[in-house]
Structure 1
Amino acid sequence: MIIFGTKGYLHQLAILTMVCGWCGNPAAHTLRKRVTKFTLFFVPLFPFSTKFATQCTFCGGERQIPGEEADRLLAQAAAGQDGNVHGQAPQQPGFTPPGQNPYQR
Structure 2
Amino acid sequence: MTDLEQHFKQFRDQTIGIQQTITGPYGEKTIVYADWTASGRLYSPIEDMISNHIGAFIANTHTETSSTGCIMTHAYHRAKQEIKKHVNAAPTDAL
TM-score normalised by the chain length of structure 1: 0.21
Structure with a larger share of its residues in strand: 1
Instruction: Tell me which protein shows more helix as a share of its residues.
Output: 2
Q: What TM-score does the superposition give when structure 2 sets the normalisation length?
A: 0.23
